[in-house]
A and B are shown apart, each in its own frame.
Chain A
Amino acid sequence: MPTRIFHWLLAGLILFSWWSVKNHHTDWHIWSGVAILTALIFRLLWGLFGSSTARFAAFVRGPAAVRDDLSGRWTGIGHSPLGALSVIALLTAVAVQVGLGLVSQDEDGIYMGPLARLVSSDTSDRARDFHELWFNVVLGLIVLHVAAIAIYRLRGRKLTLPMLTGRAALKAGIEPMRPGKWWAALLCLVAAFAIARWVVAGAPPFGS
């Protein structure tokens, strides 16, 4: 369940980030970015200490498994080996986007990302340019991601409902998922908030 909450929260926050910056709500845009940062840190920790299907070590597989997946031989629950590549690509792209945003400043110098003080003004301006460009990469991966869901759907596999309910039919002989501990989720969340708080404060010894 934490993984699913993360997913839909991330989708909502990316949408909100896009909307807020298009409508000149730069302050909301920055806070939305900080929220995404918090969610990303949580997901990273949950990928180490979370449920069996959330752990990167369990679902990120090698090229042989991806080939099996492509030829329809893969059986299992959670992210498929091919889907795992998509997960990694999306998480990395969003992390890069957040990183660029943290050190950016707006065109007029009114707003600064929480870590913009750690770099020069010119670097912040350049980071903003890349932040704008990189959004196209994020958008491209989202389009690919949604297209993949649609293709699975056409082939008769409905993936969206399990992403909402967490329930999927289990084939015979497949081990069911092992849910994470609630206190592990809580600890990951507290750690994520603490790290994000530290970043908002301006990082190392709290600003320059």
Chain B
Amino acid sequence: MRTRLLAAAAVLTLATAGMALAAASLPRPKALAIMHERHEGMETIGKNFKALHRELDASSPNLNSIRTSARNIQALSAKASHWFPQGTGPELGKTGAKPEIWQNPQDFVVKMRDFQAEARAFDAAARSSDLALIRAQSSDLGQTCKACHDKYRSDMHH
């Protein structure tokens, strides 16, 4: 009886320790802060991309406005690598990030790097005054957003 109780206690202690370890890898407030930063960052990228798309469709696009959007998107894309640590998926709270991100980390990282490379390429193109090049690069950039979102973002309603 006594040994059984001890064993049960040992199992309990181990389990608690295990949970503590998992939590220790990323404290909850920190994880929530990253999730929040990710949400805001993605939304800001979206806002910049929308503004950019509209500017490019205008009869006389404002290059300065396009350059600002390009710079904003590039700067945020560089931070995006840190937005998806383990433990910031739907198990943490309301998010559009699917669990598949952490099930296919290699594919996800490839898609993330594609996005970052296209954001840099677009920023470079925006510094030129070649509207055809800017349009082509913005379309390529959009496709890297889509490639990741189609696979790794849930249809979240906010």
Interface residues of A (CB under 8 A from B): 24, 105, 107-110, 112, 117, 121, 124-125, 132, 207-208
CB < 8 Å: which of B46, B47, B51, B57 contacts A207?
B57
Which residues of chain B have C-beta atoms less than 8 A from A110's C-beta?
Answer: 49, 53, 142-143, 145-146
Give the docked Cα–Cα distance between A10 and B58 (Å). 33
B54: CB under 8 A from chain A?
Answer: yes
Q: Is the CB of A108 within 8 A of B149?
A: yes
23 A-B pairs with CB atoms under 8 Å apart are: A24-B149, A105-B50, A107-B149, A108-B46, A108-B49, A108-B142, A108-B145, A108-B149, A109-B47, A109-B51, A109-B142, A110-B142, A110-B143, A110-B145, A110-B146, A112-B57, A121-B51, A124-B50, A125-B50, A132-B157, A207-B57, A208-B57, A208-B58
Known contacts A207-B59, A208-B58, A208-B59; is-contact A109 B50 (Cβ 8 Å):
yes
Question: Within residues 99 to 158 of chain B, which ones have a CB less than 8 A from any CB in chain A?
Answer: 142-143, 145-146, 149-150, 157
Distance in angstroms from B2 CB to nearest chain A CB is 60
- Among the listed A112, A125, A208, which residue makes an inter-chain contact with B53, where contact means beta carbons less than 8 Å apart? A112
Q: Bound state CA distance, A181 and B74, in angstroms?
A: 60
Q: Which residues of A contact B52 (CB under 8 A)?
A: 109
Give every chain B residue within 8 A of A24 (Cβ-Cβ).
Answer: 146, 149-150
Cβ–Cβ contact B53 & A109, under 8 A: yes
- Give 4 nearest A-B pairs by CB, closest first: A109-B50, A109-B49, A110-B142, A24-B150
Query: Which B residues lie within 8 Å of A108 (CB)?
Result: 46, 49, 142, 145-146, 149
Contacts of A124 in B (CB 8 A): 50
Residues of A within 8 A of B46 (CB): 107-109
A105–B54 alpha-carbon span in the complex (Å): 10
Docked complex Cα distance between A81 and B53 (Å): 48
